[in-house]
Every structure is written in structure tokens, then in C-alpha cells.
Structure 1
Amino acid sequence: MITIYDIAEKAGVSAMTVSRVINNTGRISEETRKRVRKVMEELHYIPNALARSLVSQKTNLISLLITDITNPFYTTLARGAEDAAKKAGYRLLFANSDEDYEKEKDYVDMILSTRVDGVLFAPAGDHSHDNLLQLQKHQIPFVVLDREIPGIDADVVLGDSKEGARNLVEHLIAQGHQRIALVNGSQDVSTARLRYIGYNEALQLGGITPDDSLVLHLGYRDFHDETALHELLQLDDPPTAIFAANNMLAVGVIQSLRQRGLQVPRDMSVVCFDDFGPAGAINPFLTVASQPAYQFGKLGMQLLIERIEGAASDATRRIMLPSELIVRSSTQPLS
């Protein structure tokens, strides 16, 4: 293993000088700095990040904790966060909670022991409150993404779930649909609550009385719940359209319909919240409320780095990003 003493000997300087070059500290001539760096390159020396962090009290590591790495929304969000972090000289540690509070807690414990400089945190739901309190207790800066947590005062980047849901349902109503089902996430997740509110508001504005028998509160990852969809389709007055509250639920809905010999949109119109990222360009089919997922990650990372580097005020910041209604071929007018 190459050490700073090997570098010092070959460069003809002291080990202290090599240390100062590595950590960019002290007064060293540019000529000496270049000579030391040249030797480091020749010997393929990689500085010990842990040792440097003990000196600087900074690791330049940021943890990104998301809820579902298989969801294209979060993979695109992660890319935005990574690009912003790299541009600012930080590296990312990725973690995936699978919408599970206990798994999320395990990752928070790991984060506390890893000496990261900050955390970009997409919470599993309201019970993430205790996990976020642990970060506050240990004075680790964090920014919350996508979902708000009651009782947590922090910088947050959100999408307008209520407006996006309202736009989707209004589109279906404009096509003549009156019996519109909602396949939603759990009500302990803020986005699911807001999409439910937007759904109801659109129905009421369209002169339609909301019917709770048309609403399923599942979980965002429960997109293969065959029993739940079966109950909807067996109603005496079944739906003619389904609003899936996220893209993964939409996949499950369409698969279940096809297994029953039902075609979209011939037999059932379907819309969903969130698009499918680059994969959706192969066969653009679903009508969606598309969120700027890349911007979630990029803006969240910028807010976090400002917190880490002391460039933010004490007041917390709240960014609300709009969705865009993209009409495709998964819906048709009710004949």
C-alpha cells in the first residue's frame, strides 16, 4: 500500500507537506504542490477518505434514501440528485426503504454511523417522523422529498398531488365518465391523502357524488392485489374508468384487466399519477399527470448542500413543483 511517506520520499518533501497538499491546507508553493501531485499520480495514490474526514470533520458524502428503486419516478429523481451532488463535489450513498418503516430505520442507523454530511430523504410515510427526529437529534442536515411529514419542520420539495389528481379526473369527466374508481396508496402517506382530496374535488365540481365503494386504499407497492380490483369489477354499477394514484399501481391495474380479458381503453379507461421515465417513450400509452422527477432530485440536493455549507437561512423552504397532464391513448369517450 502506498502511503504519504512514500510520496514524501519520492517528491523530496516532508510527510506534513504531502498531507497539506492532499487536504488543500497550509501555505505551499505552487511548484511544490504540482510536484507532489505528479508523484501521487505516478504511484496511483488514493487518499484515505476516512482519515481526511477526521481532520476536516467533513466527508463529502450525502445519503439519498428513497422508497422504491423500481419506480421510474425515483430512479429519475436519483439521477437528478446525483448530477447535482457531483457538480458540487459530493458523492452519494444510495438506500432504498421499499416503503418499509423498519427498513428505513435500519438505514437511518447506518447513516448515523457513516458520518455523512447530510441526507436527502424520501419518507415511507407519517411514521417516518421518528426516523427524521433521529437525524435532527444528531444534527445531520436533511431535506425531505415528495412527501411531507406532520411535525417535521424541514426544507421540502413536493409535487402538487391535489392539482394533478384533479386534472386527471376532470379529463375523465370531460369524456363522459361518471363512475370513476380510485386505486390509491395508504392514507398514512401525504401524497395519497392529497390525491384522494383532488379526486373528490374533481367529482364534486363535475356534479358527481363521491362513492366510497369506488375507492381502494392500498399501498403504493401493492399493485398485484387481485382481490381488491375484483371487488371493484363485481360492483352492481362498476366503474368505467380507473385513476391509479401512481405508475406502479397503474401497471397492476392494467395487468389485472388484461388477465380478465378487458382491454384498455375499449373496456376501461385508465389514467395514473407519474409517468414512466425513458421507458415510457417506447410505447407512450398511458394518460398521466407527469411530475418533473429529475428536478425533485436536483433542487432537493441544491437545498441540502446549501444547508451543509451554511449558505441557507434558519427559515425552512418549501418548493412545490407542478405536474403536467399528458393525454395519450389509455382513455376514450364513454359511448
Structure 2
Amino acid sequence: MVTIYDIAQKANVSAMTVSKVINNTGRISEETRRKVKKVMEELNYIPNSNARSLVLQQTQILSLLITDITNPFYTSLARGAEDGAKQYGYRLLFGNSDEDYAKEKDYVDMILSTRVDGVLFAPAGDLSLKNLEKLRAHNIPFVIMDRAVPGIESDMICGDSKEGARKLVDYLIGLGHRRIALVNGSLDVSTARLRYEGYAEALALQGIPLDETLIIHQNYRDYHADDHLEQLLEQPSPPTAIFAANNVLAVGVIRDLRERGIRVPEDISVVCFDDLDLSSALDPFLTVAAQPAYQFGAMGIQLLVERIRGSSVPESRKVILPSELVIRSSAKPI
């Protein structure tokens, strides 16, 4: 195993000089730095990250904890975070909580034991407060992604869920729909509450009564609205359109409709919050409120690195990224 002493001997410098080159500390001439790096390459030397972190009091590792890696929104967010971390010289560890608080807690414990420099944190919901407070108690900087958590102030990147939902429902109303169902996430998640508010506000502004029998609340990740969907469709006045609060729910709704022989959009219109993955570009179908998922990750990393490096920034910053209404073929006029 090659050591810094082997490098020092071959480069004819001290071990301390080699250490300074590896850790990018101290004053060293560019000629000496180049000479040491050349020897490191010749000997295929890989720095010991644990030793380096002891010197710098940093690991150069960040963590990204998301709720559902199968959701295309989070897949794109993760790519933005990974690219951003690489740009700033950090490595990125991924965790996936599956919208589960206990699993989220386990990841937080792992993050603390790994001694990462900071965390991009997409909360499972309101009860994530305890896990965030644990990070804060251990002085681990974090940026909250996508979902607010009542009771904690921090840097945050989020979308305008209420406005995006209102745009989608306004669009359906403009097509003549009045019986619009909502398949939503659990109300212990801030985005589900805001999308419900946007849905209700759009109806109210057009004088359409809010009908709670047209609303389903469930887990964002595990679509199981089959029985609820049956109740919606068997009503004396069934919905003519469905607003799914995220793309996973939308796919589940459309699958169940097709199994019943109900065509989209010929028999019922469907729109959703968040776009699908890149494969949808080959056959665009769903009308969506698309969020800039990649920018969530990239900007989150920027805020996190600024916080880690002690930049002169406010105590907490909130960035709201707007959604874009993308009209495709999953909704039609009455």
C-alpha cells in the first residue's frame, strides 16, 4: 500500500509537504505541487478519506434523503443534486425513506454516524420534525426540499404547489368540467395540503361547490385508491375529470380506469402535478403542472454548500420554484 512517505521519498520532499498537497492547505509553490501530484499519479495513490477528514474536520460528503426514488420528480432532483455536489467537489450519499418515518429515522442515524458535512432532506411529512431536530442538535447543516415541516426554520427549496394545483383545475374548468375529483396525498404532508387548497380555491372562484365525496386522501407513494375510485365512478353524478396530486397517483388512476374499460380522455379527463420521466417525451400524454425538478437538486446543493462554508447568508432562506402548465392530450372539453 502506497503511503505519503513513499510519495515524499520519490518526490524528494517532506511528508508534511505531501500532506499539504493532498489536503490543499498551506503555502506550496506550484512547481512543488505539480511534482507531488505527478508522483501520486505514477504510484496510483488514493488519499485516505478518513485521515483527510480528521485534518480538515470535513468529509467532503453530502447526503441526499428523498421519499421515493421511483418517482420521476425525485429521480431528476437527485441528478441535479449529484451534478451540483460534483461541481463543488463533494461526493453524495443517497437515501430513500419510502415515505416512512421509521426508515427516515434510521437514515438520519446513519447520516450522523457517517459524519457527512450536510444534508438535502425531503421530509416524509410533518412528523419529520424530530429527525430534523436531531440533525440540528448535532450541528449538521441541512436544506429542506419540496415539503415544509411546521415547527422548524431552515433553508428550503420548494415549489408553488397551491398555484400549480389551481392552474390545473382552472384548465379543467375552462374545458367545461364541473365534477372534478381529487386523488391526493396524505394531509400530514405540506404539498398535499397546498394542492388541496389550490383545488378548493379554483372551484370557489368559479362558484363550484366543494364536494368532499369527490376527494381521496392517501399515501403519495403507494397507490391503493381502487375501492375509492369505484365509489367515485358509481356516484349518481360521477366526476368527468380527475386531478391526481402527483405523477405516481396519476399512473395508478389511469391504470385502474383502463382496467375498467374507461378511456382517457374520451370517457374521463385526467391531469396531474409533476411530469413523468423522459420516456414520456416519446409519447406525450398527460397534462401536468411540471416542476423544475433538476433545479430543486442543483439549487439545494448551492444553498447547502454556502451554509457549510460559512458564507454570509441570512439565518434561513426560502426559494419557491414555479410550476409550468404543460397541456397534452389527457383532458378534453365536455
TM-score tier after normalising by the smaller chain length: over 0.9
What is the aligned partner in structure 2 of residue 152 from structure 1? 152
1:222 aligns with 2:225: no
Within-5 A mapping of 1:62-73: 62-73=62-73
Which whole-Å CA distance do the structure 2 matches of 1:42 and 1:3 have between them? 13
1:115, CA displacement in angstroms? 0.9
The Cα of 1:298 is off from its aligned counterpart by 1.1
1:329 matched residue in structure 2: 329
Matched letter for residue 117 of structure 1: D
Shift of 1:89: 1.0
Percent of aligned positions that are identical? 69
* RMSD of aligned Cα (Å): 1.1
Pick which of 261-270 and 307-316 moved more. 307-316
- Please give the alpha-carbon distance, in whole angstroms, between the structure 2 residues aligned to 1:222 and 1:37: 51
Counterpart for residue 278 of structure 1: 278
1:298 & 1:163 partners in 2: Cα distance?
23
Structure 1 counterpart of 2:5, one-letter code? Y
Distance 2:24 2:296 in 1: 33
Name the counterpart of 2:253.
253
Map Cα deviations across residues 11-43 of structure 1 (whole Å, 9 max, x no partner). Answer: 222222221221122333333322221111011
Following superposition, the deviation at residue 159 of structure 1 comes to 0.5
SS in structure 1 at match of 2:158: strand
Alpha-carbon distance in 2 for matches of 1:292, 1:324: 9
What is residue 113 of structure 1 aligned with on the other side? Answer: 113
Change (3 A) 1:61 1:211: same
One-letter amino acid of the counterpart of residue 252, structure 1: G
Offset from partner CA, 1:167-217 (integer Å, 9 cap, x none): 111111111111100000000000000000110111111111010000000
- Where does the alignment leave 5 or more consecutive residues of structure 1 unmatched? none
Aligned to 2:294: 294
Shift of 1:295: 1.1
Q: How does 1:1-335 map to 2 (within 5 A)?
A: 1-334=1-334
Higher deviation after alignment, 217-226 or 196-205? 217-226
Deviation, 1:282, is 1.4
SS in 2 for 1:92: strand
Deviation at 1:59, TM superposition (A): 1.1
Task: Give 4+ residue runs of structure 1 displaced > 4 Å after superposition.
Answer: none
Distance 2:273 2:124 in 1: 18
In structure 2, relative to structure 1, the CA distance for the partners of 1:79 and 1:141 (3 Å cut) is: same
Deviation at 1:88, TM superposition (A): 1.1
Distance 2:67 2:289 in 1: 20
Distance 1:116 1:312 in 2: 22
Task: Output the amino acid matched with 2:260.
Answer: R
Of 194-203 and 77-86, more deviation after overlay is shown by 77-86
Q: Which amino acid aligns with 2:300?
A: G
TM-score relative to the length of structure 1: 0.97
Identify the range of structure 1 (18-27 vs 139-148) with the bigger mean alpha-carbon deviation. Answer: 18-27
Residue 84 (structure 1) shift: 1.4
Q: 1:310 to 1:326 in 2, by over 3 A?
A: same
Whichever residue aligns with residue 66 of structure 2, its letter is I
Question: Normalization by structure 2: what TM-score?
Answer: 0.98
Q: Which runs of 5+ in 2 are unaligned?
A: none
Q: Which deviates more from structure 2 when the two are superposed, residues 310-319 or residues 87-96?
A: 310-319
Q: Please report how far the alpha carbon of residue 128 of structure 1 lies from its aligned counterpart in structure 2 after TM superposition.
A: 0.3
Query: Per-residue deviation at 1:82?
Result: 1.3
1:279 Cα offset (Å) = 2.0
